[in-house]
Every structure is written in structure tokens, then in C-alpha cells.
Amino acid sequence: MRFGDCTYQEIAALAGDGAVAVVPLGCTEQQGPHLPVDFDSWFAGALTTAAADQAGARHGVRALVLPVLPLGPTPEHRGFGAGYLDVPVTLHEAVVRAMLDSLCAQGFTVAVIWRGCGGHDLRDLVARFNGEGHGMRACLPAHPFQALWDELGDPAVPGGHADSFTTSIMFARRPDLVRADRIPGPSRQPDWSDPDLDFRAYSDTGVIGDPGHASRELGERLWQASVDWLATLIAEEAGCVITERSDIVTSNSVRRDVS
């Protein structure tokens, strides 16, 4: 269910019934010469919606997916000169915090924050919110994408940004928007720990990694595996499924950030 499709009375009833609020956070930034700049926002919205639907069908979970926030910090992409909407970190965190406060005030008790960009580190914000005891718990899961690529793709293929994972997903779900004749070759790997990271220093195309191993077939498998993973997480957060997992934590991996 989408938050925006509901009336305010329906939202109040869902919150009272213990529905999980899913908060998809997107981003607008260059995705190399072959992919559209809205990938992060589109993927965050499409994935959370599909996973919420699956959590309902398989586990009986009621999950309400908020509208995607299409803006976030993108300073590492400024060097390419176009295609970005760069929001300061403090403003981004303030907006996310306001969203959590709004959900809490409406009676939601669980919120899953799904980041379209793995480089957006919201751990401190979520830890502060959860530590204040507002009656709602926020979950900030780590992305499963590197593990899924290692399982379904080729672990030897480097990734990071607009890579074979991302391009495969696009081939599978939005093939008309892939400029297949513009897929570039591999790039160098950056120093992900650099606080002043500039992708331009490592790539002339905007790609980090190697997008040349993408395919539609691989994208379909990666898409379904991503939906399965997130649907299970939503069900776990709703208390409908209990499994042994160490990745449902406020961690931040940017090795393959699918951004």
C-alpha cells in the first residue's frame, strides 16, 4: 500500500493496526553515460513497494510505503557538471528526522528506512531517534546488494556505482532507458573512506566499477532476490518472521551502493 493513495482516516487506521511504515530515500545524481539520473529514487520506490506487497502476500504484514524523497547529498558527483541535485547533509538529516517525527505522531510504532544511495550515512540520526524513546522504532538496514551480486553475479567484477548490478536491474525493469551503446569500460576503485570523495578523480565516465557484465537475465534474478530480502526484513520488523540475521543493523556499506 502506498501512503499517498490512502485517505488520512485510512492511514490512522493502519497505524493503529500496527502497520510498518516504509520510508524510501532516493537521490538524483549522474549514473554514467548509459543510465538515467533518477535511478536511486526509482529503485528505492519500486523495490520498497514490491517488497511491501510481497511481505503482505507471504507473511500477512501490513506495510505502508511513503513517497520517495528524491533528493540527498551528492557532493561526489558535482565534478561531472550536470545531472545532480545536491542537498546538504544537515538539511537531508533534518528532513528525514521530520519524516520520522511525523510518523511517530501519527501512531506508527515501526519505520523501516530504505536508502536508495548507500553513501548516505544516517546511523547517528537513527541512533539518536531510537535513544529518545518516542514510542516508534526506526530500522536502518544495511544493503544486501554486494552479497546478492557475489551469489548471483561474479564476485570478481568490481562494482560501486552505475555498475553491472545497477545496469542489470535497469535491463530487467526499465530497458527502454538504458543507453546500451554508451556503456563504458571499467574504472578505478576509489578510496571510500575519503570524506571529500570526488568520483571525477577515479572515473571519466561517472561509473565506478565495471558495467560491462550486465544482462537482463541477471537483472531479473537480482531484482527478485532484492525483493525477497527486503520483504523478509519488513516481516521481521513487523514481528511476523524471526530469523538469525546480522545485517539488520544501522550499518553503512558503500562497496556496491547501487547508486
pLDDT in tens, 35-60: 999 999 999 999 999 999 999 999 99
Asked if 249 and 139 touch (Cβ cutoff 8 Å), the reply is: no
| CA 195 to each of CA 35, 69, 76, 255: distance values in angstroms, whole numbers, following the listed order | 26, 24, 10, 15
Cell of 210: 565495471
Answer yes or no: is pLDDT of 254 > 60. no
Tell me, yes or no, whether 176 lies in a domain: yes
The DSSP line for 75-114 is GGGGGG-SS--B--HHHHHHHHHHHHHHHHHTT--EEEEE
pLDDT tens string 208-226: 999 999 999 999 999 999 9
In a domain, 50, yes or no: yes
Q: What one-character-per-residue DSSP string does 152-192 give?
A: HS-TTS--SBS-HHHHHHHHHH-GGG--GGG-----PPP-T
Q: Is residue 254 part of a domain?
A: no
Burial of 161 (0-12, 13-18, 19+ CB in 10 A): buried
In a domain, 257, yes or no: no
User: Cell numbers at residue 196, please?
Assistant: 571529500
Contact 161, 40 (CB under 8 A): no
Is residue 247 within 8 Å of residue 142, measured between CB atoms? yes
* Average pLDDT of the residues in 146-157: 97
pLDDT tens digits, 99-112: 999 999 999 999 99
Its domain, for residue 20, covers 3-237
Q: In this structure, are residues 170 and 35 in contact, taking their beta carbons and an 8 Å threshold?
A: yes
Residue 248 lies in a domain: no
Q: What sign results for the dihedral spanned by CA atoms 105, 109, 112, 113?
A: positive
Supply the pLDDT for residue 255.
39
For residue 251, what pLDDT is reported? Answer: 34
The CATH number of whichever domain residue 10 belongs to comes to: 3.40.50.10310
Average pLDDT for 70-79 = 96
Q: Which amino acid is at 183?
A: I
- DSSP run (H or E) holding 139: strand 137-139
Q: How many domains does the chain have?
A: 1
Residue 255: inside a domain, yes or no?
A: no
Query: Coil, strand or helix: which one is 208?
Result: strand
What pLDDT score was predicted for residue 239?
87
Q: What is the pLDDT, as a whole number, of residue 247?
A: 46
User: Does residue 26 fall inside a structural domain?
Assistant: yes
Q: Residue 185 falls within a domain, yes or no?
A: yes
Give the pTM. 0.93
